[in-house]
Structure 1
Amino acid sequence: MIKKTCFIWFVFLTTLTTLAQEAPLKVGVIGLSHSHVHWILNDLARKDIDIVGIVEPNKDLAQRYAQQYGYSMSMVYNTIKEMIAVANPEAVTAFGSIYEHLHVVEVCAPEGIHVMVEKPLAVSIAHAKKMKMLARKYNIHLLTNYETTWYPTNHKAYTLLKEDYIGAARKIIVRDGHKGPKKIGVNKEFLDWLTDPIQNGGGAITDFGCYGANLVTWLMDGKKPTTVTAVTLQQQPENNPKVDDDATIILTYNDNVNAIIQASWNWPIGRKDMEIYGVNGVIYADNKHDMRVHISKGYDGFTAETFNLEERTPPFNDPFSLLKAVVRHEVVLEPNDLTALENNMIVVEILEAAIKSAKSGKTVKLNAND
């Protein structure tokens, strides 16, 4: 009888766990000014997450998107606390300015609500450290989302590098950017803070430099660079009067590796690509799906392979699937993962050092123990 009762309880608890994992994750969207918010609004009918509330004090913006996507204005709140009290989300995604990320964590962490912010994690090390402290104190997950995290080419490149396919890495070049936020026609609400040195932390050096810092930190297994040197330009002062719009960041590592991050709002064509040079060959991750590998042969010859890769499998194919999987304990993030807090603390440190270097004209040394 006791064994039968224990078995029934086991089945009952297993069923409850399964139902909890299968139930959609209740998510609140905080801010609509970041145009990456279209990523989640474009898929409101998805089954794995349930948008239970939106925080946006700018009602004109909220109404505009309500008409575009069909959500009810009754689910739009003025403050995070109002939304939490009514909608009770399990997690939130932040689509406001980078400066506001700290406030999101300050409000949500004490409530035990997990947070995912758009890249980068924070505008400064000071903000990032406060966010990390709160995440640890209240035991919440704090993720950072990058578009390039979901590129199958980047993951294939990582695998080939770790399998020694091109030999030991010597140089990594990451290029990201477009013609500039005003030229590509971002909405005013986004443009206002994206070109503000306080709200965004910088211009292109922050907006697109973070991609390279994130990817290089990942490829280097979470190591910090020993030095950071940066040069910034303002090639469109009429469009970006307060911030840089072109940045070149050079990172050096103790193991004979250097990385060059080219972040710009002045590319004639939008791009997110990466090159990894090893002792024996080079990997070209040209875009999300296309990749080439050249293996050295003689002086200037090489054998060539090309890849056209399919989308990654769930939950590693988009940020919201991964957020649910992490919150539901289906996926455990490693410290060096692209979305992980530890990786992104280093990203913020690199960006802050790069901004300091560009302003001073000097190389900045990083302390490996910080």
Structure 2
Amino acid sequence: MKKTLLLLFVTIQVTFAQDKIVRMGIVGMTHDHVRQILHNIKHDGVEIVGFAEPDKALAMKYLAQYKLPESLWYASLDEMIEKAKPEAVCDFRSIIEHLETVQKCAPKGVHVMVEKPLAINLDAAKKMEALAKKHNIQLLTNYETTWYASNHEAYKMIHEQNAIGDIRKVVIHDGHKGPKEIGVSKTFLDWLADPVKNGGGAIIDFGCYGADIMTWIMKGERPTSVTAITQTIKPETYPNVDDEATIIVTYPKAQGVFQASWNWPFDRKDVEFYGKSGYIIADKTLQMRVRKGERNAPAEEKVDIKPLASPMDDPFSYFAAVVRGKVKSEDDLGSLKVNMVAMEILDAAVKSAKAKKTIELK
């Protein structure tokens, strides 16, 4: 009887621990994507315990704008960790600062989710990976496209239903008119157009989406080569970085083409998956274009998609679920495993564009 009661008590304790809300901190406020959390700090499984931002004027402006208490502000990540005691943090700083966030959080057992891409280059990514593994923390990368139901439906059709046969080519489009043209904040633009702090221009900002989705759809397989071409079409606006990029990755029996642009007339984030016996065209909407079969197959059809269920529809709730062990993220779009390969692609793409040659991956 005593053993039964003890087992019941332990079970209740474990369940309570898994359901306990995750104390989450925000590192930096210079990335405009921080507005995702400022606009609504209430997410399932999450309690926002602080914003670490050295620019006090910027922090106070945002906290006032979104009617949040000034007591949430901390002058540094170190101070926030010490006083607010977050279990996890989301990084909204420049890409070059992602490494520092992990260096400070990992030894204290604080889990980290950074905005895309994972790191400034492959060397930094390897250091982050080593720290995450050594200290047994979760290290995720947040992409807007992770939360598109269409991408997940396409993955299911390709890998679970074999709806279009083996993948042959994936064409991924990501871009807009340009950060300045769409009106991003000065604090964001200052580092987004800086080759040191951002690692490049459109090739990094939008090329990373292609590297992530392609690696995921190829189930983590590394490409055999990476070729990239960049241009600066608007040097008067972006004198130090590219604003146009195309990346081509090859596999033994497939190819990926990532078109990243700060020059398109409209915002777009869509993917064309071409298989041996059909294709799927997906974007952020809840409808996909699909054609399956042989050469004389029926015409293209429109397929309706169900929205993603919680916590898969929200980055912060998802992060909390991963921290609590409710969701296994090893092979997801934001996983460290997928993003280490994505970083290898992105790193090679930057080198390819600079050297004007194809980079063979050993």
TM-score (norm 1): 0.95
Partner in structure 1 of residue 47 of structure 2: 50
TM-superposed CA distance for 1:35, in Å, is: 1.0
Deviations 1:56-84 (A, max 9, x none): 01112111111122222222111111111
- C-alpha distance after superposition, 1:203-236 (max 9, x if no partner): 0000100000000001111011101011001111
SS at match of 1:99: helix
From 66, 87, 91, the equivalent of 1:90 is 87
2:213 is the alignment partner of 1:218:
no
Structure 2 residues without counterparts, runs of 5 or longer? none
CA distance in 2, matches of 1:270, 1:365: 32
Do 2:43 and 2:316's aligned partners in 1 also have CA atoms closer than 8 Å?
no
Read off the aligned partner of 2:8 and give its amino acid letter. V
Aligned 8 A contact 1:297 1:303 in 2:
no
Given the alignment, which residue of 185, 202, 212 partners 2:183?
185
1:227-269 residue CA offsets vs partner (Å, 9 max, x unmatched): 1011001111122111001100011001x21110000111110
SS in 1 for 2:255: strand
Matched, 1:251 2:246: no
Pair 1:317 & 2:294 matched: no
In structure 1, the residue matched to 2:194 is: 196
Q: In structure 2, do the counterparts of structure 1 residues 135 and 50 end up closer, same or farther at CA, with 3 Å as the change threshold?
A: same
How far has the Cα of 1:297 moved from its partner?
Answer: 5.3
Question: Which structure 2 residues correspond to residues 167-178 of structure 1 after superposition, within 5 A?
Answer: 167-178=165-176
> Aligned pair 1:270/2:267, yes or no?
yes
Partner of 1:326 in structure 2? Answer: 322
SS in 2 for 1:244: coil
Amino acid at match of 1:270: D
Q: How many residues align?
A: 361
Aligned-residue offset at 1:310 = 3.0
Contact 2:27–2:52 under 8 Å retained in 1: yes
Q: Aligned pair 1:113/2:135, yes or no?
A: no
Asked if the contact 2:165–2:277 (Cα under 8 Å) also holds between the matched residues in 1, the reply is yes
Q: Which runs of 5+ in 1 are unaligned?
A: none
- Residue identity over aligned pairs, in percent, reads 50
Aligned CA-pair RMSD: 1.3
Q: In the alignment, which of 354, 358, 362 is matched to residue 363 of structure 1?
A: 358
The separation in 1 between residues aligned to 2:266 and 2:44, in whole angstroms, is 35
Matched, 1:340 2:311: no
What SS is found at the alignment partner of 2:163?
A: coil
Does the 8 Å CA contact 1:296/1:303 hold for their aligned counterparts?
A: no
CA distance in 2, matches of 1:217, 1:288: 22
Q: Contact 2:173 / 2:270 at 8 angstroms: preserved in 1?
A: yes
Distance 1:46 1:167, change over 3 A: closer
User: TM-score normalized by structure 2?
Assistant: 0.97
Contact 1:290/1:309, CA 8 A, preserved across alignment? yes
Query: Measured at CA, do residues 242 and 291 of structure 1 come closer, stay the same or move farther in structure 2, by a change above 3 Å?
Result: same
Q: What are the within-5 Å matches in structure 2 for residues 74-153 of structure 1?
A: 74-153=71-150
Q: How far 1:47 moved relative to its partner?
A: 4.3
Deviates further, 352-361 or 43-52: 43-52
Name the CA shift for 1:253/1:47 in 2 (closer, same or farther; >3 Å). Answer: closer
The equivalent position to 1:11 in structure 2, one of 8, 11, 18, is 8
Q: Give distance in 1, aligned partners of 2:317 and 2:116.
A: 17
